[in-house]
Amino acid sequence: MLRFLLAAALALTTMSPAAAQTGSPRVESLLSRMTLDEKIGQLNQVPGGRQRALNSRLDAAALERVRRGEIGSFLHVAGAAQIRELQRVAVEESRLGVPLLFGMDVVHGYKTLFPVPLALAASWDPDLVQQTAHVAAVEASAAGLNWTFSPMVDIARDARWGRVVEGAGEDPYLGSILATAQVRGYQGASLADPSSIIATAKHFVGYGAANGGRDYDSADISERTLHEVYLPPFYAAAQAGAGSMMTSFNDIAGVPLTAHPALVRVVLRRDWGYDGLIVSDWNAIPELMNHAIAGTPREAGAAALRGGVDMDMAGNLYSAELKGAVEADPTLLPMLDDAVRAVLLAKERLGLFDDPYGRADPAREAAAMLTPEHRAVAREAARRSMVLLKNDGDILPIAASARRIAVIGALAEDANSSLGSWRAQGKVEDVRPLIPALREALPNATLTYAQGYRPEAAQVVAVTASGEGAQAVHEVSDAEALAEAVETAKASDLVLLVVGEHFDRSGEARSYTDIGLSAAQDALADAVLATGKPVVVILMNGRPLAIPELAERAPAILETWFLGVESGPAIADVLTGSVSPGGRLPISFPRANGAMPMTYAHLPTGRPAAEDLVRDTARYRDQPITPLFAFGHGLTYSRFDYGPLEVDRASLGATGGVTASVVVRNVGAVAADEVVQLYMRDPVASVSRPVQQLRGFRRVALAPGQAKRVSFELTPAQFALWTDGWATEPGAIQLMVGAASDDIRGRAEITLTEAGRFATPAPAVATPSTESIVP
Ligand code: BGC
């Protein structure tokens, strides 16, 4: 198969294809009038600044380059006035008047910051996720932007990789659903609407599989895993119409994705019919020389173009080298034309040729940001993203009788961390922090606060690929601060212990071998728990944490991630019980650093993991075989009973569908949401299959005593496995329904009577679901 792919890729890149037409007369006409230099200019994306210093590089020289047609796009620029001026020069003063693309990492909000992507994924609420992306687009477009480098749809199963914070977690089905939701949210019904922006599915592909969880490192992925785990969310994004994709920094088995025709030209372009704009990652084209697959800048440029990369992000290499490369090797010219077509087509889809200034309207910009409506979406998103990991003795919600409450841990007052890793124009002063929100929500309680250790700004410890200095914080144990925290705890009826990680510990280039708490936080947690007071742990973090001891000793743990501008009030809503938590983990929590990578969807192996240590099985001897908290786990302030899982037919051919349904009843005393999860297993197949795979879910709101029937409609394509294409094999398929991957409440089985072949990756097929009240 791989041999076939490579051969096909070679054929595609060496053939000189009759110019692939876009079907757009305007694009074709423009292309026919462009000089080679103008074409290359379209492929050049230059930074107008950095993420935290937007527009800092926009000067007269930049305008001059625009005038000469040397720039196709800027990134890290914003502001309607600045962008209007750049666009004016491009449209009115360059020879062909081609408008510019303006891109930025608008990842979880532009001005109104929402929970970080991993947190949003924990909502298991695609509509909500779509709404947050829509608000982000409304704000970003008002500031002149027409392109975001989001969603990051990389599946991640190793929490040492700091970028788990930017994605939807470990599962390709959940990841595909949320990729679709985000693309729809950013792009709206039409890209030509001036409040829509182009979405970028990134990083194509396998970036989350970096060896050892080290950012940028090589990945070595089997073809089956590539198709079954890493590619499906990209397929879903492509189907949803994502206007752009970004290739990833990493190599797979020695082939960097910045120069990977077999995946970009064959799988993405040919097999999936993708016609959007493909952009490199930041400076990744020159870095092909570091990968050591190109000896000179010119070879690097030619390799990237052959690999199907249309636009050079910040590498300044296409602009410096492509001319020489094409002159030396004219077979590159049709590829260059196709790359220019992709850029022009993106501009046309955005309506830029007809309305270049629609997104650069200072009046709209002034009115669009952080409106009460946008804040309300942020509050709702933050509420729905929290995951109640543990709640022994129903210690939460906070009892009305709790009079003296101690809030302990410096993260409690770290509003900066609430903004998360990509913050576009989010500002600390826009964050509503935790402590004042708690005071407001608990007017009859006395709230005391102690830091417990000293957070100290450290020197820049790393510079990311996009050139940003790290803002690392050292958490320093301090005997006085610790003693004060212990006294504060002792003088309270209830402790809210806020621990986790500073926001800048997760994100790009933030890989760590140790994903437990810092020594200072560990000491604090230990001392506070030793007081014997009831302790509720509030976690703030961007990745799963290995905190087995804390999880054992603390009676309650609320995972709050980094929740954005409405962080404080939303946490207060949940702690006080005005809202029941309903989020679920989109990624497993390990018990130890050394237990990664891990996933609930593992293969059974010949010696399936067993608790009994006398047997030799697939496990670590020094840890239980279960994760600390499983994929899909999350509690509420209520309890739910599940009826049997019913299927409307016992067998299925290669077409048709089966409906699986279950009645879920709220048997507790408060209204709460249950996330009903549907898993499958193919118990015997020609190749070993995962013990569980998510194939459907629905977040259902239930009043106390209320019951609803939740139904899922499945088709044979969803049971397929990858063997040189997607195929089903005759035999049994087991279905499981439950409240988490480790809390299965009902099972059913159907038989596939025929083999089938399918075009869509199984995890990228969305399962329609419905709910109806059962009297
Ligand atoms: C990241 C991308 C990001 C780009 C532009 C790179 O370092 O990997 O995810 O879109 O910078 O900021």
Ligand 1 pocket test, candidate residues 149, 246, 313, most atoms within 8 A of CB = 149
Ligand 1 centroid to 281 CA: how many Å? 6
Strand-pairing partners, residue 699, are 675
* Closest ligand 1 atom, residue 465 Cα: 7
Distance of alpha carbon 499 from its chain centroid, rounded? Answer: 23
Ligand 1 centroid to 284 CA: how many Å? 10
| 489: pLDDT strictly greater than 50 | yes
**Could you give the CA distance from residue 578 to residue 561 in angstroms, rounded to a whole number?**
20
**Counting Cβ atoms within 10 Å, is residue 25 exposed (0-12), middle (13-18) or buried (19+)?**
exposed
Taking only the tens place, the pLDDT of each residue in 196-239 is 999 999 999 999 999 999 999 999 999 999 999 999 999 999 99
* Closest ligand 1 atom, residue 51 Cα: 12
Strand-pairing partners, residue 390, are 557
Q: Is the pTM of the predicted complex or chain greater than 0.95?
A: yes
- Give the residue numbers marked as catalytic: 281
Protein residues with CB under 6 Å of any ligand 1 atom = 105, 149, 202, 281-282, 464-466, 508
Taking only the tens place, the pLDDT of each residue in 279-309 is 999 999 999 999 999 999 999 999 999 999 9
Whose CA is closest to atom 4 on ligand 1?
A: 282
| 4: pLDDT strictly greater than 60 | no
Ligand 1 centroid to 209 CA: how many Å? 17
**Counting Cβ atoms within 10 Å, is residue 656 exposed (0-12), middle (13-18) or buried (19+)?**
exposed
For residue 662, give the H/E element and its range.
strand 658-666
Ligand 1 centroid to 61 CA: how many Å? 24
The predicted structure's pLDDT at residue 15 = 44
Q: What is the mean pLDDT of residues 393-412?
A: 95
Ligand 1 centroid to 251 CA: how many Å? 16
Q: Name the least confident of 331-340, 419-428, 663-672.
A: 419-428
CB contact at 8 A, 63 and 317: no
Neighbours of 363 (CB within 10 A): 9
Ligand 1 pocket test, candidate residues 161, 312, 508, 510, most atoms within 8 A of CB = 508
**Could you give the CA distance from residue 109 to residue 119 in angstroms, rounded to a whole number?**
13
Whose CA is closest to atom 8 on ligand 1?
A: 281
Strand-pairing partners, residue 202, are 152, 246
Q: Of all residues in the chain, what percent carry a pLDDT higher than 90?
A: 93
Neighbours of 23 (CB within 10 A): 9
**DSSP-derived secondary structure letter, 269:** I
Ligand 1 centroid to 670 CA: how many Å? 44
Ligand 1 centroid to 648 CA: how many Å? 47
List of residues 6+ apart from 718 with CB closer than 8 A: 680, 695, 762, 765, 767
Ligand 1 pocket test, candidate residues 281, 422, 506, most atoms within 8 A of CB = 281
The predicted structure's pLDDT at residue 53 = 77
| 473: pLDDT strictly greater than 90 | no
Name the more confident of 58 and 717: 717
**Counting Cβ atoms within 10 Å, is residue 448 exposed (0-12), middle (13-18) or buried (19+)?**
middle
The predicted structure's pLDDT at residue 10 = 52
Taking only the tens place, the pLDDT of each residue in 612-671 is 999 999 999 999 999 999 999 999 999 999 999 999 999 999 999 999 999 999 999 999
* Closest ligand 1 atom, residue 249 Cα: 8
Q: Of all residues in the chain, what percent carry a pLDDT higher than 70?
A: 95
Instruction: List the structure tokens of 682.
Output: 């193919």
* Closest ligand 1 atom, residue 466 Cα: 7
Ligand 1 centroid to 162 CA: how many Å? 13
3-state secondary structure 555-601: CEEEECCCCCCCHHHHHHHHHHCCCCCCCCCCCCECCCHHHCCCCCC
- The residue assigned the tokens 């100290």 is 456
Q: What is the mean pLDDT of residues 598-618?
A: 97
Short-list 676, 667, 688, 686, CA closest to 736? 676
List of residues 6+ apart from 775 with CB closer than 8 A: none
The predicted structure's pLDDT at residue 460 = 54
Ligand 1 pocket test, candidate residues 258, 282, 311, 313, most atoms within 8 A of CB = 282
**Could you give the CA distance from residue 33 to residue 653 in angstroms, rounded to a whole number?**
54
**What does the mean pLDDT of the chain come to?**
95
Ligand 1 centroid to 245 CA: how many Å? 12
Instruction: List the structure tokens of 568.
Output: 């404080």
Short-list 128, 104, 108, CA closest to 118? 108
* Closest ligand 1 atom, residue 150 Cα: 10
* Closest ligand 1 atom, residue 166 Cα: 9
The predicted structure's pLDDT at residue 471 = 60
Instruction: Indicate left, alpha or beta for 322 from its phi (over 0: left) and psi (-120 to 50: alpha).
Output: alpha
Residue 471's SS3 state is coil
* Closest ligand 1 atom, residue 76 Cα: 12
Taking only the tens place, the pLDDT of each residue in 135-169 is 999 999 999 999 999 999 999 999 999 999 999 99
The predicted structure's pLDDT at residue 18 = 43
| 367: pLDDT strictly greater than 80 | yes
The predicted structure's pLDDT at residue 11 = 53
Buried b (16+ CB within 10 A) or exposed e, 540-570: bbbbbbbbbebbeebbbbbbbbbbbbbbbbb
| 467: pLDDT strictly greater than 90 | no
